[in-house]
């Protein structure tokens, strides 16, 4: 039997957390928790759901760890606030690190991190607390990702990049080496960032428009 775990949330990310922790970690998921106003009718993933304001009575922090399984809503502020609330109650926050990720940074990863399969984390990278790395990212050597960030799939972070707190980086974005991204920046899907980004910046690449020529008239494909 592994150490028992409670997951905060009952959405898609919580379901994914249950899947990964149950199959690829030393934890045993015992229950879920949400704010009382969002309590569902019945079980979730076959397990009880407890109101967060009474969680310590049923699943005390002396016995159970917690994982906050929330998205990047409000620029990660919702996940940040629940992370802090869980800490204030005395819970240790678990991290999930896929055994199919390549980690070469000597475990410099904080708590409540969710690191999916096929991430490559090169030597001397430092990852803060409450960071989500969806599948298939490259995090280059000597880069720093600060607390409460969310990095979507297939992002390339080149060497020596510093990413501030509460940033969101979208699918297929590319960050050149040795630049600094300020706190609470949004880097959109497919964006190419070649210089420093001041705090609270929004960088969204142009969406691909439909060509005037229909597919039936293409000579080669």
The whole-angstrom separation of Cα 14 and Cα 145 is 23
pLDDT of residue 163: 98
Q: Which residues have a Cβ under 8 Å from the Cβ of 162 and sit 6 or more positions away?
A: 143, 144, 146, 179, 180, 181
Query: Length of the chain in residues, anyone?
Result: 221
Residue 212 pLDDT level (bands cut at 50, 70, 90): confident
pLDDT tens digits for range 88-113: 999 999 999 999 999 999 999 999 99
- Tell me the mean pLDDT in the region 1-23: 96
pLDDT tens digits for range 107-132: 999 999 999 999 999 999 999 999 99
pLDDT tens digits for range 133-169: 999 999 999 999 999 999 999 999 999 999 999 999 9
Tell me the two tokens of residue 151: 């990095």
* pTM across the whole model: 0.93
Q: Where are the alpha helices (DSSP H) in 72-187?
A: 77-88
Residue 208 pLDDT level (bands cut at 50, 70, 90): low
**Helix and strand tally (H, E) in the chain?**
3, 21
Closest C-alpha among 182, 212, 216 to residue 196: 182
- What is the set of domains in the chain, with CATH numbers? 3-88 (3.40.50.720), 95-201 (2.160.10.10)
- Give the helix/strand (H/E) hosting 209: none
pLDDT tens digits for range 172-200: 999 999 999 999 999 999 999 999 999 99
């Amino acid at each position: 039997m592994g150490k028992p775990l409670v997951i905060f949330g009952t959405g898609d990310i919580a379901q994914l957390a249950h899947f990964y922790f149950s199959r690829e970690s030393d934890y045993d998921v015992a229950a879920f928790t949400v704010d009382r106003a969002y309590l569902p009718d019945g079980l979730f993933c076959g397990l009880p759901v407890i109101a967060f304001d009474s969680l310590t009575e049923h699943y005390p922090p002396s016995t159970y760890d917690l994982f906050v399984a929330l998205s990047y809503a409000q620029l990660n502020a919702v996940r940040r606030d629940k992370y802090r609330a869980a800490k204030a109650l005395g819970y240790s926050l678990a991290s999930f690190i896929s055994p199919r990720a390549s980690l070469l940074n000597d475990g410099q990863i904080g708590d409540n991190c969710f690191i999916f399969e096929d991430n490559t984390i090169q030597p001397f990278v430092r990852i803060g607390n409450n960071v989500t790395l969806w599948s298939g990212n490259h995090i280059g050597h000597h880069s720093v990702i600060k607390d409460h960030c969310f990095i979507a799939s297939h992002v390339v972070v080149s060497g020596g990049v510093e990413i501030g707190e509460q940033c969101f980086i979208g699918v297929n974005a590319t960050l050149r080496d040795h630049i600094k991204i300020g706190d609470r920046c949004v880097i959109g899907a497919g964006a190419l960032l070649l210089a420093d980004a001041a705090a609270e910046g929004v960088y969204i690449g142009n969406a691909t428009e439909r060509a005037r020529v229909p597919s039936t008239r293409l000579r080669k494909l």
